């Protein structure tokens, strides 16, 4: 009989701190664990995760093609999907939910937009965003780090790229949350329907922007997509993307471009608040910031897991997995694998090879926005630590509560006090690459 662990990822105590659960799974004789609450095989170890990423022919990202079961979210997710199909544009599979070679043809459309070369050119732009946000609260002595900084920074950057006016970034945040919430396991049917209505509002907005960019192009990603040409067959003709494809790509760019970066920045600040001496070390030696970013991504991975489905009977970690099974690829667990990272449950900003983490995935599905996320984090902490000091929680007993989700890890709020170190805007021209 398979081993059973006394944890449940959907219960508040475990959801708030899932790492003991993941550690227990890694400690099993067969560390691929059938997680009843997710109805999925949870893959907990680093090398098994890497194996999955290298074998999409067995562990497919096309979860809607190979399984008939409702994934994560149950009826709530089904309600949301049906409303979108009836009133907007139904989900199709482009980037995240496809395998090579289909994935490859869509990935080519956005590779240049997120290239390291382009991110290098965006350094001053990102640093300007960081300084603008700090200017808004520096004379107040207190702020909600999540809602005054960590959310609006990546939201503004992605808004500029997707044609959303800056005075509407909170609409963008609402749309992004609505796209993700029904799959997180904590949304009832009524809330799921409202999420679907918000998503359809977003779809209609982006349809108008796409039409405008076709006649009046600008230097942004949504213009690139509006004019993109796709080749379905190596010997076939090129074609434009249809609206279903465009909406699915924008869904993924919107959620991937702000939600995970928001969570990563918030978690990074939480780790510093729990270890205040590290802030002084990093001020005195800013070269530590690069490794701090990698170690925080390893230690507090913003996406706990993503999904695959088996296309055939498979074996992994000594466990037989039937064809058509849901598989949760546990990035957060893999990033604390004791076989890969020494003292893996300790946070160490001088850790060697901290960048070996899988927070951005690996292989064909490696996050296309990884370079931009790293730059936003690097600029954020470099400038914050230069301009603020004695950063501390308003509540000395701050509990660091997270947004309810079975697969995302991000703080709800983070109320902070601080002292002013410098009111001068700071432009170190510091590119993480």
**Residue range(s) of every CATH 3.30.43.20 domain in the chain:** 1-60+305-357
Given the structure tokens 């995935």, which residue do they identify?
Answer: 361
Which of 426, 342, 334, 376 has its CA nearest to residue 134?
Answer: 426
Given the structure tokens 């944890």, which residue do they identify?
Answer: 7
pLDDT given for residue 113 in this prediction: 83
CA distance 2 to 5: 10
Measured at the CA of 15, the angle between CA 174 and CA 377, to 5 degrees, comes to: 55
CA distance 383 to 18: 31
Q: Which residues in the chain come in under a pLDDT of 50?
A: 1, 68-72
* Overall fold of domain 75-303+359-420: Cytochrome p450 (1.10.630)
Beta strand 142-144 with 229-231 is unpaired
pLDDT given for residue 68 in this prediction: 45
Return phi, psi of residue 238, to 5°.
Answer: -85, 155
Q: What is the pLDDT of residues 248-278, one digit of tens each?
A: 999 999 998 889 999 999 999 999 999 999 9
List the 59-60 sheet strands across, edge first.
32-35, 40-43, 326-329, 306-310, 59-60
pLDDT given for residue 314 in this prediction: 97
Enter the pTM of the model.
Answer: 0.94
pLDDT given for residue 257 in this prediction: 85
Return phi, psi of residue 376, to 5°.
Answer: -65, -40
Given this structure, which CATH class describes domain 1-60+305-357?
Answer: alpha beta
pLDDT given for residue 1 in this prediction: 42
CB 433 within 8 A of CB 120: yes
DSSP state of 402: B
pLDDT given for residue 102 in this prediction: 92
**Residue range(s) of every CATH 1.10.630.10 domain in the chain:** 75-303+359-420
């Amino acid at each position: 009989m398979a081993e059973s662990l006394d944890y449940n990822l959907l219960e508040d105590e475990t959801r708030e701190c899932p790492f003991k659960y993941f550690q227990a799974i890694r400690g099993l004789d067969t560390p691929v664990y059938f997680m009843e609450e997710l109805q999925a095989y949870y893959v907990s170890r680093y090398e098994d995760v890497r194996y999955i990423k290298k074998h999409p022919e067995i562990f497919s990202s096309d979860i809607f093609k190979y399984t008939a079961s409702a994934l994560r979210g149950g009826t709530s997710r089904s309600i949301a999907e049906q409303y979108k199909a009836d009133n907007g544009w139904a989900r199709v599979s482009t980037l995240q939910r496809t395998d090579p070679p289909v994935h490859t043809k869509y990935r080519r459309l956005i590779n240049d937009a997120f290239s390291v070369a382009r991110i290098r050119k965006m350094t001053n732009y990102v640093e300007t965003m960081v300084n603008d946000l700090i200017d808004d609260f520096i004379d107040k002595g207190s702020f909600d780090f999540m809602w005054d900084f960590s959310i609006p920074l990546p939201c503004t950057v992605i808004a500029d790229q997707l044609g959303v006016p800056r005075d509407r970034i909170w609409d963008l945040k609402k749309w992004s949350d609505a796209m993700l919430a029904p799959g997180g396991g904590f949304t009832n049917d009524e809330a799921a329907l409202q999420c679907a209505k918000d998503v359809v509002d977003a779809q209609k907005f982006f349809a108008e922007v796409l039409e405008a960019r076709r006649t009046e192009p600008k230097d942004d990603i949504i213009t690139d997509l509006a004019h993109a040409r796709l080749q379905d067959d190596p010997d076939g003709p090129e074609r434009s993307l249809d609206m279903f494809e465009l909406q699915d790509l924008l869904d993924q760019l919107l959620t991937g471009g702000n939600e995970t970066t928001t969570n990563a920045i918030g978690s990074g600040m939480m780790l510093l608040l729990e270890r205040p001496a590290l802030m002084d070390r990093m001020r005195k030696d800013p070269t530590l910031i690069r490794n701090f970013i990698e170690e925080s991504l390893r230690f507090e991975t913003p996406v706990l897991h993503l999904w695959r489905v088996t296309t055939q009977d498979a074996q992994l970690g000594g466990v037989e997995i039937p064809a058509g099974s849901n598989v949760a690829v546990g990035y957060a667990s893999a990033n604390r694998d004791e076989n890969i990272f020494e003292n893996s449950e300790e946070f160490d900003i001088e850790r060697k090879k901290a960048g070996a983490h899988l927070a951005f995935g690996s292989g064909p599905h490696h996050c296309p926005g990884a370079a931009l996320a790293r730059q936003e984090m690097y600029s954020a902490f470099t400038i914050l630590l230069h301009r603020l000091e004695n950063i501390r929680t308003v509540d000395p007993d701050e509990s660091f509560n997270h947004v309810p989700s079975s697969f995302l890890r991000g703080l709800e709020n983070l109320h902070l006090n601080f002292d002013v170190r410098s009111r001068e805007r700071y432009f170190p021209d510091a590119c993480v690459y």
